[in-house]
Amino acid sequence: MKKIMTKAALAAVAVSFAGTAFATEWNVSLWGKRRAFTEHVEKLAELVSAKTNGEFTLNISYGGLSKNTENLDGISIGAFEMAQFCSSYHPDKNPTLMVLDLPFLGVETLKQEGDLDLALYQHPAAIKDLARWNATILMASPLPQYNLAGVGPAPKTLEDFKGHRVRATGGIGQAFTKIGGVPTSVTSAEAYTALENGVVDSVAFAPHAHLSFRTIDIAKWWIDNMNPGSVNCPVVVNSDALASLSDSHREALMSSIDASMDRYYEAYDETYVKWAKILKDNNIEVVSMSDEMMDAMRAAAAGPVRDEWLQEMNAKGLPGQELYDFTVAKLAELKG
């Protein structure tokens, strides 16, 4: 005997299937712990869930999905849908983005850095570069300038930097090499131990990272105005996952970016209040480089590192000069 479902039963089944079909869950690979550096991702997850009544969720993992140096690889194979990475972890995998890591570009504020990063991420060459990894950049993670905190005597002249062992990556590390320093690229998680055990004399971090990875707990001094540069760390999504979103879920995601970035900048304002207190409470010596010292450092490091990067880009058939000119012009516009 055939069983005939009532209209009410059919409707219930339809609703059930609809809920299953349109529920979207993305895994997000971050590292360390929740901090100012990740607040825009946390805010994005909050807003997306609220706008979709919980139908679209971002499950954030701090180190549980991948090593920070392998997040781009994970995105490329679809191991997770969203991730944050720093381009200096693997410059050969994202050469176009490394223009933002060149030392002494002259960025003055965190907002300038964020706007500059986003502009470069939208350059056709950068888009093509990331497409090789099936990645689309969603947001920037602009970082304050990477100044030094260290132990032992604080370097105050160019001569003092000869043989100085510093945890620094990307263009910043190259800049220290030009003035006689000895950079090492230990991971951020290893920086505390490296400083504590004397593997390095100092660590180049933005303030939030000195706080998060506790290097400031053992540092004796802090250079507050070297401003050698920063590291660009985009938030990317798997391009296939982004394309497969429903229109409403994609709208919820994309429309939440501006508010998420606003929260990011607020978080850094809060970090600087905490940073000033830590310097005072820990009796950290604050060192300010003279104008003459900074001019000498820029002359010794900025030009040579830039020229070497341009040569490498040309050798790879990539538009290095175009990217550099674009970056310089955009920064001048933002400062204008």
Domain limits, the chain: 24-143+231-272, 147-230+284-335
111's tokens: 């907002």
β-strand partners of 148 = 204
pLDDT at 1: 40
DSSP 60-107: EEESSS--GGGHHHHHHTTSSSEEE--GGG-TTTSGGGGGGGSTT---
Radius of gyration for the chain, computed over Cα atoms and rounded to the nearest angstrom: 23
What span, in angstroms and rounded, lies between the C-alpha atoms of 241 and 26?
A: 9
pLDDT at 189: 87
What span, in angstroms and rounded, lies between the C-alpha atoms of 269 and 263?
A: 10
Q: Do 24-143+231-272 and 147-230+284-335 come out as alike in CATH topology? A: yes
Q: For 24-143+231-272, CATH number? A: 3.40.190.170
pLDDT at 128: 98
Q: Going residue by residue through the chain, which has 336 residues, state the pLDDT in tens, using 9 for 90 and above.
A: 444 445 555 454 444 444 444 799 999 999 988 999 999 999 999 999 999 999 999 999 999 999 999 999 999 999 999 999 999 899 999 999 999 999 999 898 999 999 999 999 999 999 999 999 999 999 999 998 889 999 999 998 889 999 999 999 888 888 899 999 999 988 888 999 999 999 999 999 989 889 989 999 999 999 999 888 888 999 999 999 999 999 999 999 999 999 999 999 999 999 889 999 999 999 999 999 998 988 888 888 899 999 999 999 999 999 999 999 999 999 999 998
Q: Which residue has the tokens 């849908």?
A: 81
Helix, strand, coil percentages in the chain from 3-state DSSP, rounded to 5: 55, 15, 35
What span, in angstroms and rounded, lies between the C-alpha atoms of 177 and 173?
A: 6
Q: For 147-230+284-335, CATH number? A: 3.40.190.170
Contact status, residue 204 vs residue 188, Cβ threshold 8 Å: no
Contact status, residue 32 vs residue 189, Cβ threshold 8 Å: yes
Contact status, residue 248 vs residue 21, Cβ threshold 8 Å: no
Q: How far apart are the first and last CA of the chain?
A: 81
pTM given for the model: 0.83
Task: Using the CB atoms, write b or e for 3-25: b if 16+ within 10 Å.
Answer: eeeeeeeeeeeeeeeeeeeeebe
Handedness of CA 275, 279, 280, 286 (dihedral sign): negative
Contact status, residue 13 vs residue 44, Cβ threshold 8 Å: no
pLDDT at 17: 47
pLDDT at 227: 87
* CA 154 vs CA 37, 150, 157, 221, 305: distances in Å: 27, 7, 9, 6, 24
Contact status, residue 65 vs residue 27, Cβ threshold 8 Å: yes
Contact status, residue 97 vs residue 323, Cβ threshold 8 Å: no
Q: Do the strands 165-167 and 82-84 form a parallel or antiparallel pair, or are they unpaired?
A: unpaired
